[in-house]
C-alpha cells in the first residue's frame, strides 16, 4: 500500500487540489464538491500526511517530556499525568531521555530543530550552560524543578520545606524527640532541598534533638546500610526521617532485622508516597510531593504558553500532603490495631499553608 496524496484525491473527484483541501478541512466549498471529495478520499483511503501538514502549518502537534531517568516511579507518575493532558488537547507526547545519549543541554539545543511545539523538562542539575540554552531556545519550555529567579520561565516545583515540616511536626506530635534524617546523596537537587527542608523544620522545634546522615543512594539497599548504623548508635534515636520511600523501606527492614519494632521502638517516615509505602508492613508514613499534580500543571502551563507565547512566566508550587500510615504512630498506640492497608483510607493532611 503506497501513499495516496491529496492530488490523487483531487483528480479522482474531478476537482483541483485546493478544492479538495478545502472540502476536507471544512473550509468554504459547495455541498456537491464536499460530497465528491469525501467519497473520493474514502475510496482511495486518503489520510493527510502529518509531516507535510506540519511543514506548511508550522506546528507539529507534538510536545516533549525530557527527563533523566524514565522508569523512576515519580517521573512515571508525572508522565502519566502529562500524557493525559497533552493527548486530550490533541498533541502527541515524545519522550526525550536525557540520561542515555544526550544531556539536558543537548536536548534543549535540539529543540531548535522544531520537532516539537514545546517541552517539559525535568533537569538533573541546573547549570549555567543549561540556563543559557533555555534562554536562547525559540520553543516554549516548562521546567519541573528549581530555577534561579533570573530565568524567566514557567516553572513547577514541589515544596520541600513544607514537606519536611509536615513530617517533623507529625513526629513531634506523636511524641518523638530524637530524629535522624537519612538523606540520599546531597549533591543532587532533591537531596539538597530535602536536607535544607529538614534543617528548617527541626529549627522550629528547639526542644528536639536532630541530626542528618547520608546514604550512598536513594535505594533500599543504601537506606538499609545507613539505617543499620544509625540504629546501633547509643542513645538510639526514636525516629528516622528518610529522604525517600526506598530509603524508608530499607530503614524499616534494618530495624526489623535488629529486632526493633516499628513504630514501637522507632518511628520511620518516607517521601514520595509511592505504591511501595502502602504495601510494606507496617505501612510507611510518607509525604506526597504531588507528582501527578506537578505533571498536570506543567502540561497546562505549556499549553497556555503555546496559545499565548508572550504571557508572563508563571511559577507554581504544588502543596505536599502527609499520608500517615502505621510506621509513625505514637508508641502508646497498638500497631496491630491498624487495619489492612489496602482498605485503609490513609489520613491525608493536605497542607493549605503551602505557597500557591
Partner DNA sequence: TCGAGTGTTGTAAACGTTTACAGTGAATGC
Partner DNA sequence: GCATTCACTGTAAACGTTTACAACACTCGA
- Among positions 229-268, residues that touch its own copies (CB under 8 A) are 249-250, 253, 256-257
SS3 225: helix
21 binds, among its own copies, DNA, none (CB under 5 to 8 A by kind): DNA
Length of the chain (residues): 356
Return the number of the residue (146 or 281) whose C-beta is nearest its own copies. Answer: 281
Does residue 22 belong to the site contacting DNA (CB under 7 A)? yes
Query: Binding its own copies by CB under 8 A: which of 6, 13, 41, 83?
Result: 83
Q: Is 307 in the site for its own copies (CB under 8 A)?
A: no
Bridge partners of 141? 119
3-state secondary structure string across 241-283: EECCHHHHHHHHHHHHHCCCCCCCCCEEEEECCCHHHHHCCCC
251 CB-near residues (< 8 Å, 6+ apart) = 182, 223, 224, 226, 227, 240, 242, 268
280 sits near its own copies (criterion: CB under 8 A): yes
Q: Pick between residue 88 and residue 330 the one whose CB is nearest to its own copies.
A: 88
The answer to the question of residue 62 lying near its own copies (CB under 8 A) is yes
Q: What is the torsion angle, in degrees rounded to the nearest 10, for the CA atoms of residue 193, residue 196, residue 201 and residue 202?
A: 140
Which partner, its own copies, DNA, none, binds residue 257 by CB below 5 to 8 Å per kind?
A: its own copies
353 binds, among DNA, its own copies, none (CB under 5 to 8 A by kind): none
Residue 67 found at the interface with its own copies (CB under 8 A): no
39 is a contact residue toward DNA (CB under 7 A): no
Collapsing DSSP to helix, strand or coil, 97 comes out as strand
The residue assigned the cell 530543530 is 113
> What string marks each residue from 44 to 63 as x (binds DNA by CB under 7 A) or -?
--xxxx--xx-xxxx-----
Contact 43, 12 (CB under 8 A): yes
Helix axes 6-13, 31-44, angle to 10 degrees: 120
Question: Pairing state of beta strands 118-122 and 267-271?
Answer: unpaired
If the CB atoms of residues 45 and 259 are measured against DNA, the closer one turns out to be 45
Contact status: 30 vs DNA (CB under 7 A)? yes
Q: Residue 112 carries which DSSP code?
A: G
87 touches, from its own copies, DNA, none (C-beta below 5 to 8 Å by class): its own copies
80: contact with its own copies by CB under 8 A: yes
Q: Shortest distance, CB of residue 226 to DNA, whole angstroms?
A: 52
Is residue 165 within 8 A of residue 200, CB to CB? The reply is yes
Q: Which three cell numbers stand for residue 45?
A: 483511503
Residues found near its own copies in the complex (CB under 8 A): 1-3, 45, 47-52, 54-55, 60, 62, 70-71, 76-77, 79-80, 83-84, 87-88, 92-97, 100-101, 109-110, 112-115, 136-138, 220-221, 224, 249-250, 253, 256-257, 275-276, 279-281, 340-343
Residues found near DNA in the complex (CB under 7 A): 3, 5-7, 14-19, 21-25, 27-33, 46-49, 52-53, 55-58
Amino acid at each position: 500500500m503506497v501513499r495516496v496524496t491529496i492530488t490523487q484525491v483531487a483528480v479522482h473527484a474531478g476537482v483541483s487540489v485546493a478544492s479538495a483541501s478545502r472540502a476536507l478541512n471544512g473550509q468554504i466549498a459547495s455541498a456537491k464538491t464536499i460530497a465528491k471529495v469525501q467519497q473520493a478520499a474514502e475510496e482511495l483511503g486518503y489520510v493527510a500526511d502529518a509531516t507535510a501538514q506540519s511543514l506548511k502549518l508550522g506546528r507539529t502537534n507534538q510536545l516533549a517530556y525530557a527527563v533523566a531517568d524514565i522508569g523512576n516511579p515519580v517521573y512515571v507518575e508525572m508522565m502519566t499525568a502529562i500524557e493525559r493532558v497533552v493527548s486530550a488537547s490533541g498533541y502527541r507526547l515524545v519522550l526525550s531521555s536525557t540520561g542515555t545519549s544526550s544531556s539536558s543541554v543537548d536536548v534543549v539545543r535540539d529543540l531548535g530543530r522544531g520537532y516539537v511545539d514545546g517541552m517539559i523538562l525535568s533537569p538533573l542539575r541546573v547549570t549555567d550552560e543549561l540556563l543559557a540554552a533555555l534562554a536562547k531556545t525559540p520553543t516554549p519550555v516548562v521546567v519541573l524543578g528549581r530555577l534561579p529567579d533570573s530565568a524567566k520561565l514557567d516553572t513547577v516545583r514541589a515544596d520541600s520545606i513544607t514537606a519536611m515540616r509536615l513530617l517533623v511536626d507529625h513526629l513531634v506530635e506523636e511524641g518523638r524527640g530524637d530524629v535522624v534524617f537519612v538523606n540520599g546523596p546531597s549533591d543532587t537537587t532533591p537531596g539538597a532541598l530535602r536536607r535544607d527542608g529538614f534543617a528548617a523544620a527541626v529549627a522550629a522545634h528547639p526542644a528536639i534533638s536532630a541530626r542528618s546522615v547520608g546514604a550512598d543512594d536513594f535505594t533500599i539497599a543504601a537506606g538499609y546500610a545507613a539505617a543499620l548504623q544509625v540504629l546501633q548508635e547509643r542513645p538510639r534515636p526514636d525516629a528516622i526521617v528518610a529522604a525517600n520511600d526506598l530509603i524508608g523501606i530499607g530503614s524499616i527492614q534494618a530495624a526489623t532485622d535488629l529486632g526493633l519494632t516499628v513504630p514501637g521502638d522507632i518511628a520511620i517516615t518516607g517521601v514520595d508516597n509511592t505504591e511501595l509505602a502502602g504495601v510494606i508492613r507496617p505501612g510507611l508514613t510518607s509525604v506526597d510531593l504531588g507528582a501527578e499534580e506537578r505533571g498536570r500543571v506543567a502540561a497546562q502551563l505549556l499549553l497556555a504558553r503555546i496559545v499565548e507565547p508572550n504571557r508572563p512566566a508563571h511559577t507554581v508550587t504544588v502543596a505536599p500532603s502527609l499520608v500517615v500510615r502505621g510506621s509513625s504512630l505514637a508508641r502508646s498506640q497498638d500497631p496491630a490495631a491498624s487495619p489492612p492497608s489496602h482498605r485503609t483510607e490513609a489520613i491525608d493532611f493536605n497542607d493549605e499553608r503551602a505557597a500557591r
